[in-house]
Chains A and B, each alone.
Chain A
Amino acid sequence: PADQGSLHRYFGQR
């Protein structure tokens, strides 16, 4: 089954 990555992988902290 596929893993669920978090949004931190794509969006940086501002």
Chain B
Amino acid sequence: LEARLEQAGVLKKVVDAIKDLVQDCNFDCNDSGIALQAMDNSHVALVSMLLKSEGFSPYRLDRNVALGVNLTSLTKVLRCAQNEDILTLKAEDAPDTLSLVFENAENDRISEYEIKLMDIDQEHLGIPETEYAAAISMPSAEFQRICRDLNQLSESVAIEASKEGVKFSCSGDIGSGSVTLRQHNNVDRPELSTKIELTEPVALTFSLKYLVNFCKASALSSVVTLSLSNEVPLLVEYAMGSGFVRFYLAPKIGE
């Protein structure tokens, strides 16, 4: 593998977004790019990430390879890169190590690091194609604020999407709270718009602890999309220029 990324900051943000959810995971490298799928220890949340091969220049791969990485170790090495550095990932066919090269834009500094890889026997889940009943896109900073605010009052949040809007509500020992968003279109700054596409009303309850965790991906994209259907896991997606980070969260069941 040899994959060169114009901005090391992209990988730094991706790893920052997922390192508190999963510790060890495989980076699966194939023709479509570098992908990752991993569940948290409780098997309640799943992260699915893709950095498309088009996002690298060049992207060269002789045969598919799984890079078993400890994300804490990778974070330590990525801290040694500036966000604007050019990052090159290199690995042999049956690699024991992953090589990371950081070059500054002026081309007068080259840093070379290697991290040890590990064999990870990772469970892969098949995620069915789903036509969601509701898709809500909103500023990622707003979603983060709602999750943090409501998490002060409660462990869980009810998300209800209807024609009127989307309502996040919670109740706990000290009281209760809710935030309702209505659809609006910001012509000058589309990334600040809230869009609600609905085929039928949805009401689901989720653990806020995980949602707060997902919001660490807010640095990746100014927009987040929540996709919901009754009785299926929530999809929280942060799209990047050439790739995505998606989180799935199992709903709470029964009252």
Contact = CB atoms under 8 A, between A and B. Distances in A.
B156 A2 contact: yes
A14 B125 contact: yes
Interface string A1-14: 11111111111111
Contact of B233 (A1, A10, A12, A13): A10
Contacts, number: 56
A4 B45 CA distance: 11
B45 to A, nearest CB: 7
A5 B251 contact: yes
Interface in B116-173: 123-128, 156
A4 B250 contact: yes
A8 to B, nearest CB: 6
A7 B43 CA distance: 6
A14 B126 contact: yes
B254 A10 contact: no
A10 B250 CA distance: 8
Interface string B34-53: 00000100111110000000
B19 interface: no
Given A4-B44, A4-B207, A7-B45, A13 B126 contact: yes
Interface of A: 1-14
